[in-house]
Structure 1
Amino acid sequence: MSTDRRPVVLVVEDEPLLREMIAFEFELSGFEVVDAGSAEEALQRLTQMQILDLLFTDIRLPGMDGWSLATEVRALHADAPVIYASGNAERQELLPRSEFVQKPYRPQQIFEVAAGLGVDLPQAPME
């Protein structure tokens, strides 16, 4: 990356173990991770964040879904890329600078998608 700042990713996943695994992979790759178990919790955390470099969200969440969350996030961080993840949700029209990954996915796949969306990866992720 061109600065000393670590990129910030907001990980939203309602399954605690999966959320921890995703957060761990991002941390290993040099990201600063903020995580949440619901869209509502994510929006609360987002109000305290000055910078957001990437939103990684499950689509099927309790309460507000990932599609709606991404729209809300873009109202606060217009340029933040979005990666939607789901094992069985129907795809909707994607926002600009967003992509969909099908569960199950490999961590390397997430980073390839993030790089394709223009996210500066702080270091090469391990396979």
Structure 2
Amino acid sequence: MAVILVVEDEPFIRQAAEWAIEDLGHTPLMAEDLASALLHLSAAERIDVLFVDIRLNKLAFGGYDVANQAIGIRSDLRVLYTSGSPLTDDMFNLFVAGGQFIQKPYSPAQFEFSVGKLLH
């Protein structure tokens, strides 16, 4: 199963993601901002997927900033972006290479499918 780093600034959504990841048999690592995400990226032995909200309130480019810095630390990291807003070309053009998107709200089955696509 995968180790998934979740970067989400809304506590309720972060908790729901953690439970969904655990229920699917994956290992979650939780971060509420860029600083805590960077700590995980530097310290964790293994991280397979970065699951990041595009619209993090305290960053100019939100999840894009997190993803770009994360790829700089772990070049083999897979990135799954999420947002409550529909995906636009402008949003897609800011994704790291190979980045995927899942629209909020998402079901556990949709999440598992998206993670599976990234890992295979």
TM-score, length of structure 2 as denominator length = 0.85
Deviation of 1:23 after TM superposition, in Å, equals 0.7
Residue 61 of structure 1 aligns to a residue whose secondary structure is coil
Higher relative contact order (CA 8 A, sep 6+): 1
Identity percentage of aligned residues: 32
Alignment RMSD (CA, Å): 1.6
Q: Stretches of 4+ moved more than 6 A in 1?
A: none
**Where does residue 14 of structure 2 map in the other structure?**
19
- Partner of 2:70 in structure 1? 73
Correspondence for 1:85: 82
Instruction: Give the alignment's TM-score, normalised by structure 1.
Output: 0.81
> Does the alignment pair 1:100 with 2:101?
yes
**1:116 and 2:111 matched:** no
Q: CA deviation at 1:87?
A: 1.0
Deviation of 1:97 (Å): 2.4
The structure richer in helix per residue is: 2
Deviation at 1:59, TM superposition (A): 0.8
Give the equivalent residue in structure 2 for 1:53: 48
Count of matched residue positions in the alignment of Structure 1 and Structure 2: 114
Of the candidates 3, 7, 22, which is equivalent to residue 2 of structure 2? 7
